[in-house]
Amino acid sequence: MLFLFSIYNSEVKEDLASIIDRIKAGDDQLREEFIVDYIPFIIKVLSNSVKNKIDIKNSDEYSIGLIAFNEAIEKYDNSKNKKGFNFFSFAEMVIKRRIIDYFRISSKNKEMPFSYFEWDDEHFEDKFLQDESSAGYERIEVFQEINHYSEMLKSFGIKISELHKYTPKHSDSIRMCVEIGRKIAENKEVFNKLVKKKYFPMKDIMKFVNVHPSTIEKNRKFIISVSLIYGNNYEHLKSYFNSGR
């Protein structure tokens, strides 16, 4: 278990870089040993990402985590890291991205499950977005979107970690609210009122939405969250909604 006891030793950090280079060069036995030694790391990442999973090792997510960790080994480029060895932050990012992809594909109604933000909160910003060594890696743009989106939500008193609480329970209600949010974003005058004044212009919205005001008010935070995604043209986040249309 040499790897586990030596993560933070500066000399071993250089050794880890060499180990990854040897693995990528074709040392399959070293690859297997490296992955086995870091199974506790993989399980920890999965445990923070997957709610209500008592036995992670016997779950589909565990297999995805192992594959994602191996993918991180293949894609990690130490030459791009100018401020120290950061393989584990990159591996964590890849594992969580693959879990998000899995949830998205396996979702029955293909609607955006705001529940996948449940483990987020400040985590993306703290662990990845302020880490310049992650720049240039594949899919990092999704984290940049989430970071900006999180700041937009904060201005409305909404925490990104609580988005799942505002999602309607029924798929028909979700589609209705997504459509309302999209229409608000398309109406520049109304959307500007929403963003600049932090004011939910119900009277203006009722001019182009044929839904009872009480229903809109009940789902106000969810609708605001959706309108911010469309209004700011977050391509990756929009794709979750578009896949269900």
pLDDT in tens, 29-86: 999 999 999 999 999 888 887 766 667 877 788 888 899 999 899 888 777 654 444 7
The number of angstroms, rounded, from the C-alpha of 2 to the middle of its chain's C-alpha atoms is 31
Tokens of 9: 């030793």
**Least confident piece of the model among 7-21, 25-39, 134-148, 206-220:** 134-148
Residues 91 and 131: beta-carbon distance below 8 Å: no
Candidates 224, 231, 184; CA nearest to 204 is 184
- With a cut of 60, say whether residue 122 has pLDDT above it: no
Tokens of 94: 């890849």
Q: In the prediction, which pLDDT does 126 show?
A: 42
Q: In the prediction, which pLDDT does 114 show?
A: 58
Candidates 90, 75, 72, 74; CA nearest to 24 is 74
Query: Locate tokens 């693995």: which residue?
Result: 23
Q: In the prediction, which pLDDT does 164 show?
A: 80
Q: In the prediction, which pLDDT does 17 show?
A: 82
What 3-state DSSP class applies to 8? coil
Residues 240 and 225: beta-carbon distance below 8 Å: no
pTM of the shown model: 0.51
189 contacts: CB under 8 Å, gap ≥ 6? 204
The number of angstroms, rounded, from the C-alpha of 204 to the middle of its chain's C-alpha atoms is 33
The number of angstroms, rounded, from the C-alpha of 164 to the middle of its chain's C-alpha atoms is 13
- With a cut of 50, say whether residue 129 has pLDDT above it: no
* Higher-pLDDT residue of 158, 53: 158
Query: Locate tokens 């409305």: which residue?
Result: 156
Q: In the prediction, which pLDDT does 160 show?
A: 81
**Least confident piece of the model among 115-119, 132-136, 200-204, 221-225:** 132-136
237 contacts: CB under 8 Å, gap ≥ 6? 112, 142, 145, 146, 149, 229
- With a cut of 80, say whether residue 8 has pLDDT above it: no
Q: In the prediction, which pLDDT does 218 show?
A: 94
Count the neighbouring beta carbons within 10 Å of the beta carbon of residue 217: 11
Tokens of 38: 């870091």
